[in-house]
Amino acid sequence: MADQIDGAMATLTVEGLEKLLQAIQARGYRAVGPTLENQAIVYDDVESINDLPRGWTDEQDGGRYRLLRRGDDALFGYSVGPQSWKKYLHAPKLRLWTAERHGDDISVAPEPPTGDRLAFIGVRACEMRAIEIQDRVLLGDLYADPHYQALRARALIVAVNCGQAGGVCFCASMQAGPRVTEGFDLALTELLDGGEHVFLVEAGSDEGRALLALTPHRAASDDEIRAAAAVIERTASSMGREMRSDDLNELLTNNLEHPRWDEVATRCLTCANCTLVCPTCFCTSVEDVSDLAGERAERWRRWDSCFTMDFSYIHGGSVRASAKSRYRQWMTHKLATWIDQFGSSGCVGCGRCITWCPVGIDITEEVRAIRGCDASAEEPR
Amino acid sequence: MPQTLEACAPPLHPMAPRMTPVTRFIRESQDVFTFDLAPEGATPFAPGQFNMLYAFGVGEIPISISGDSQAPERLTHTIRAVGPVSAALGKLQTGDRVGLRGPFGVGWPVEAAKGFDVLLIAGGIGLAPLRPVIYWLLRHRAAYGRVGVLYGARTPDDLIFRSELEEWRRTPDFQLRVAVERAGPEWTGDVGYVTPLLSKLRFDPADTVSMICGPEVMIRATALTLEDAGVADSRIFVSMERNMKCAIGHCGHCQFGPLFICKDGPVHSYDHVRNLLAYREL
């Protein structure tokens, strides 16, 4: 695998990373990545690497998220924030079409997919897996979502192997990380310990190789390659959470009347936060609007959540009226029936649902409770 | 045993409706109406499939096709006005435009049922998705064994397809029993639920394919009765209803355990759903 750049590892300095970002933008991409806003790390447009949360990290636990200063200038020294890339690929709100009345006739104009070429800077392994999962949902069957398809086909993915695990991370349990293994154009590993602040880069596509060729870099040394592997290994062994995942479909399908569902329902506020922060939750609803004259109408699609009462409403009432049934739907879909539907779990172990739950419900703890184990019997590795 | 039509290329914009004129409008009862749509070009469908119908500026709902699958140039829908969209559709007149997407889903196993006795059991508006099967059976009568239809409604005033009910009643080799839950003295037919009427039909349980459409509570009770009578659960088919926003497996609303009612159904064999139906609020 050592022929030229292909498959081989390159090393970028911090200035080199800035040059890479410029090369990405010069190639027509709109670069989006982590930025600091409202005391959280959220995804937004990045003009330069100075827009990245340099020197910041986060502290996460059930219902808790705090930003903290690091002792160094790491650019990717934090875990995932509340947002995921689905905010770009599967927009929270989107007009699907516009209809206009002309006398007796009505014309319908579908919203054309945007031609945006997005470059996602800093896609973590769990998020890469989440994108692949949404690919199967929105592109993988008879019908393809044209908006998702257009954005996804043009998107550039600059992944980052995580240099530290967060307090709610369990991607290792879901075999979703912390190393990005496929789907990326470029994958970075940030190296902070060797005296010089550099990034080990691996190209995963022709586009990634082309961009790297446009960027000043050097061949990675064996020490750097070893250091990057050690960083990923250290991350994998320090996950804040753990969840046995090999038997979840059977476990949950066989426990649809487990008393734990009633117990969790006494805490769950059915606020839908977990579904909005989840990088794989894909459910949407539609809203029809019209002008006052009744000449023009539009249909909008927006994110929806199985935690709302309206979600399952049919004539006569909601199928899932109780909080118990709605939590059960979310968790059994995520961890069990998703496998029947799409061939993989719907969970990537990012931990967002734990952090952003206002009452700190922890999916890994709920699974342990249903499995009947003592919560203290399975300490994080 | 589910059957599908020849797969045609999916539309580029699967969420955009085709505005289609209403060519006939019939009032069936106080709150049920039927209309035909005439889309440009034939729109082949299988009995049991459904369309998404859009009332301009109001919204879109899933509606089973209630017409003849062998005359697909006309798409017939029978609807009960229960919400804002169905009420708006009920105010349409001939010539008005309805947004049409479809057909979607897996229909009734009419091909696989050839050679079997066939029982159709409908509750309320549930007769509408089964009417295409009745048309099919009447056109291919020799291919099937004994045919029986049970239809239950709340009151005689709620009965739909009344003139056809009379026709079917007079059709040879076609058993039809109609029951209502409440009736005045002018009603001379059966009173009560449809399930006790099963015993009045001639069929061989070991050689019967049964298709049920109605409220979920009626589906459960009827399927249990059929099983008790000796019909195999893999030969009982039920049509399920759930909230639907997209009909293409993307919106997530219609999930029922591992199933998407919109693309894995709406018709399911009972052995695939019986365990799921056992749980409340699944």
Residue A85 lies in a domain: yes
Q: Say if the Cβ atoms of B242 and A322 lie within 8 Å.
A: no
The model's confidence at residue B282, banded by pLDDT at 50, 70 and 90, is very high
- Side-chain-side CA neighbours of A178 within 13 Å: the count stands at 28
- On whether both A135 and A183 belong to a single domain, the answer is yes
Number of A:B CB contacts under 8 A?
A: 129
pLDDT in tens, A107-137: 999 999 998 999 999 999 999 999 999 999 9
Name the residue of chain B whose CA is nearest to A254's CA: B275
Same domain, A317 and A369: yes
Q: Assign A316 a pLDDT band (cuts: 50, 70, 90).
A: confident
Residue B168 to chain A, least CA–CA distance (Å): 30
pLDDT tens column, B6-30: 445 778 899 999 999 999 999 999 9
> Does position B3 have pLDDT exceeding 90, yes or no?
no
- CA–CA separation, B103 vs B56, rounded Å? 19
In a domain, B49, yes or no: yes
- Predicted confidence (pLDDT) per residue in B199-239, tens digit: 999 999 999 999 999 999 999 999 999 999 999 999 999 99
Contacts of B249 in chain A (CB under 8 A): 137, 141-143
Q: Which phi and psi (to 5°) does residue B45 adopt?
A: -145, 160
Q: Given CB atoms, is A329 within the 8 Å cutoff of chain B?
A: yes
A324 is written with which tokens? 């118990």
In a domain, A98, yes or no: no
Q: Which residue of A has its CA nearest to B82?
A: A315
Closest Cα in chain A, distance from residue B7 (Å): 9
Best to test chain A binding among B20, B85, B282 (most A CBs inside 10 Å): B282
Q: Which residues pair with A32 in a beta bridge?
A: A45, A120
A191 in the same domain as A53: yes
For residues A317 and B254, what is the distance between their CA atoms, to the nearest angstrom? 14
- Asked whether the predicted pLDDT for residue A1 surpasses 90, the reply is no
Number of structural domains, chain B?
1
Across chain B, what does the average pLDDT equal? Answer: 95
Task: Report the CATH number at residue B47.
Answer: 2.40.30.10
Domain span holding position B77: 18-104
In a domain, A57, yes or no: yes
The amino acid that residue B50 corresponds to is F
Q: Which domain covers residue A369, as residue numbers?
A: 248-287+305-377
Q: What is the C-alpha to C-alpha distance for residues A367 and A347, in angstroms, rounded to an integer?
A: 13
Cis peptide before A112 (omega within 30 of 0): no
| A193 domain-assigned | yes
Residue B60 lies in a domain: yes
Chain B residues whose CB is inside 8 A of the A311 CB are: 243, 253
- Mean pLDDT (whole number) for A363-375: 84
Task: State residue A373's pLDDT score.
Answer: 58
Residue A85 has pLDDT above 80, yes or no: yes
Q: Is A112 on the interface with B (CB under 8 A)?
A: no
As a whole-number percent, the residues of chain B with pLDDT over 70 amount to 97
Q: Is A246 on the interface with B (CB under 8 A)?
A: no
**Chain-chain contact of A99 with B248 (C-beta, under 8 angstroms):** no
Q: What is the pLDDT of residue A103?
A: 86
Residue predicted with more confidence, A192 or B41: A192
Query: Are A44 and A149 in the same domain?
Result: yes
Q: Which residue is closest to B83 within chain A, CA to CA?
A: A315
For residue B134, is pLDDT > 50? yes
| A284 lies within 8 A of chain B by CB | yes
- pTM, entire model: 0.94
* For range A211-220, the mean pLDDT: 96
Q: Per the domain annotation, does B177 fall within a domain?
A: no
- With a pLDDT cut of 70, the percent of chain A lying above it is 96
Question: Hey, are the CB atoms on A337 and B250 less than 8 Å from each other?
Answer: no
Q: Which residues of A touch B280 (CB under 8 A)?
A: 325
Do residues A207 and A256 both lie within one domain?
no
What are the E-state strand segments in A115-239?
A: 118-123, 156-161, 186-191, 198-203, 218-219
Q: Residues 86-105, chain A: which have Cβ within 8 Å of B?
A: 96-97, 99, 101, 104-105
- Note whether residue B229 is domain-resident: no
B183 part of a folded domain: no
pLDDT band at A376 (very low <50, low <70, confident <90, very high): very low
Residue A283: enclosing H or E segment and its boundaries?
A: none
Tokens linked to B23: 């060519």
B199 inside domain:
no
pLDDT of residue B8: 58
For an interface test with B, which of A291, A314, A331 has the most B Cβ atoms less than 10 Å from its Cβ? A314
Question: Residues A171, A225: one domain?
Answer: yes
For the four alpha carbons of A26, A30, A33 and A35, in that order, the dihedral sign comes to positive
Q: Closest approach of chain B CAs to the CA of A337, in angstroms? A: 5
Residue A378 — very low, low, confident or very high, per pLDDT cuts 50/70/90?
very low
Q: How confident is residue A138, by pLDDT bands cut at 50, 70 and 90?
A: very high
* Residue-wise pLDDT tens digits, B52-98: 999 999 999 999 999 999 998 999 999 999 999 999 999 999 999 99
**Total count of domains within chain A:** 2
- Band the pLDDT of A380: cuts 50, 70, 90: very low
The per-residue pLDDT for range A232-289, each reduced to its tens digit, is 999 999 999 999 999 999 999 999 999 999 999 999 999 999 999 999 999 999 999 9
Residue A3 domain-assigned (yes or no): no
Q: Which two tokens stand for residue A119?
A: 């470059």
